[in-house]
Amino acid sequence: MKPVYKYFRRFYHSYVLFFRSLFTDLPHEVYKIATAVLSLIIIGGIVVHFIEAEANPLYSTIEDSIYWAVVTVSTTGYGDIVPKTTIGRIASGTMMLFGIVIMSLFTASISSILVSRKIQTQRGLMSIYVKNHLVICGYYPTLRNVILSLFREKPDLHIVMINDQEQDLIDLLMSEFSGKHLHYVRGNYANETFLEKARIKDAGSVIILPDISHQKPPGRFDELTLMTVLTLKQVAPTAKIYTHVYDRELVPHLKRAGVDGYIISDEISGELMAGFISAPGAPQAVKQLMSLNSVQNLKVIPVPEVYTGKTYQEFMTEMKSASNTLVLGFISVEEQIDLNAILSNDMSAIDVFIQKKFKEAGIGADKSDQVQVNLNPPPDYLIQANDAALILGA
């Protein structure tokens, strides 16, 4: 169970962002009405104070008169302070009439803004006010499964979709995940304007899917993906970027652009099809491991610090005994070599030669290769501090 302060912090942050965005979008008419209400309260309170002060001790101070004006203009009418003179009662009645009109205008304006914001948010026309969120660019048949998997593992994650798909399909997605933090921005995700609406500068990660909503050939999808990666590197340099592409030949360009991970359509479909003949049951097992509906599927969990330095055999035995979890291996993330930190600023001939050889070897260029997978290590393998466990379990 999460501590209460975490829930309080989350709701406090949400409401602060909501009211900040609300006041940003308020039209000038609302500010004019608010100014009129405030002026009526202050001027009316002061005027009635001078009218009633001598005959009515309830209006002896300006503060009491202002309080009476607030109650009168808002038509609350507590009755604890009332005028006694005829002029004071006329002024009170006039303020009530003005108060009814002005407060009705103010309430109607706020209501229309909230309704308009709700409609525009559903259509993806509003800016999103979140931080450390995930942005999913493009619309692809796997989009629903991506969102479902993410919310299953991280229920509190904020996800922002950017695409130009038909509104009916977007409404279905938004309805299915209505209880989650799913947001939508309509537009071309390669355009920086729509990326800014999704608060891309504050995003933690970005997934780029082929956008079938544009009805373009697969090659055009990949071009749009590469353009988006280059744009993201400029506007959101700290965000992790993961892509789905069709053409394997695009991979070197993605590596040079600095993506953190990629998958290629039908990358292992050939091996799976051959597996029906050469290894019957293996393709079905792979499908079950990755299925959302499977009780037993693959997960990556952090290894508790107490197991650092212990053997794979010890960790596997304890995990199997404690939770019937099978440890398949370990995932480790290695730090990328920064060539700029190694080479000198003047870039001598030796530095240029070293940089050329590093790039030819692919060192420091492919960020996705930082993730190392160690499947079925030997029993005496010693667990490292940066290891995460790849497990099979519920």
What is the reported pLDDT for 188? 87
pLDDT of 217 higher than 70: no
Q: How many domains does the chain have?
A: 3
CA distance 374 to 393: 18
pLDDT of 215 higher than 70: no
Residues 384 and 310 in one domain: yes
Strand partners, 160: 135, 183
What is the reported pLDDT for 1? 46
CA distance 293 to 286: 13
pLDDT digits (tens, 9 = 90+) for 91-114: 888 888 888 887 787 777 777 766
Domain of residue 210, CATH code: 3.40.50.720
What is the reported pLDDT for 84? 83
Domain of residue 22, CATH code: 1.10.287.70
For residues 303 and 389, the answer to whether their CB atoms sit within 8 Å is yes
- End-of-domain residue from the set 248, 267, 286: 267
Residue 36 falls inside a structural domain: yes
CA distance 165 to 124: 11
Residue 219 falls inside a structural domain: yes
Residue 127 falls inside a structural domain: no
Residues 118 and 45 in one domain: yes
Residues 113 and 146 in one domain: no
pLDDT digits (tens, 9 = 90+) for 51-71: 887 778 888 788 888 888 888
Q: Which H helix or E strand runs over 197?
A: helix 192-197
pLDDT digits (tens, 9 = 90+) for 112-145: 766 766 776 666 767 788 889 999 999 998 899 9
Residues 107 and 203 in one domain: no
Domain of residue 301, CATH code: 3.30.70.1450
Residues 15 and 138 in one domain: no
- End-of-domain residue from the set 252, 267, 282: 267
The amino acid present at 302, given as its one-letter code, is: P
Confidence category of residue 224, pLDDT binned at 50, 70, 90: confident
What is the reported pLDDT for 365? 46
Residue 282 falls inside a structural domain: no
Residues 92 and 154 in one domain: no
How is residue 342 written in tokens?
């190694």
Report field, pTM of the whole predicted structure over 0.85 = no
Please report the sign of the dihedral spanned by the C-alpha atoms of residue 371, residue 145, residue 198, residue 134.
negative
Residue 174 falls inside a structural domain: yes
SS3 of 196, please? helix
Judged on CB neighbours under 10 Å (0-12, 13-18, 19+), 110 is middle
Residue 284 falls inside a structural domain: no
- End-of-domain residue from the set 227, 249, 267: 267
Q: Which domain holds residue 315?
A: 294-393
Residues 218 and 258 in one domain: yes
